[in-house]
Amino acid sequence: MLVSLGIMAGIIFLLYSVYFVSIIRGNPEHLEMEMMRSLADWIIRTKGSAQAYMWGMYAGSVLVEGCYLYLAIVYVANPAMRFLTGLFILFEINHLLSLGYNLRRFFSGKYLLSQIFHWGRERFSAVLFFTHAFLVLAILAAFD
């Protein structure tokens, strides 16, 4: 399971690195607008099946994030890291519930596509995931 945590942390670290660098450089809006354009194009292409796919992606992300954070809390014995992971879990629960609510409102026609994501919260989540994954990798490399 420790290897699984390392693999997940490495993948998360790599996936979020592009967004993290964009945030640190001070111009995440360009990447965010490109993601929104791509999402809109994809929804138009997939038509009616987009809703099922998006809910599936949402459920998959909840599962992957839950597994990663569970493994981190169980296998990283550092008390400070466990505390930070606990705070991160609370933030992500709030973040994912908000995102789920926004998706539901979007698919019921009450929200526009641009209202699904709160970019400040998305950026904070990305920075937390990138930093947390980096710390997990550093701890695993140094102590295990």
Tens-place pLDDT, residues 44-77: 999 889 999 999 999 999 999 999 999 999 999 9
The answer to whether residues 126 and 20 touch, using CB atoms and an 8 Å cutoff, is yes
**In the chain, domain spans:** 2-143
Tens-place pLDDT, residues 79-108: 999 999 999 999 999 999 999 999 999 999
* CA max distance for the chain: 51
CB-CB neighbours of 136 under 10 Å = 25
CA distances from residue 85 to 79, 89, 143 in whole angstroms, order as listed: 10, 6, 18
Q: Tell if the pTM clears 0.95, that is, is over it.
A: no
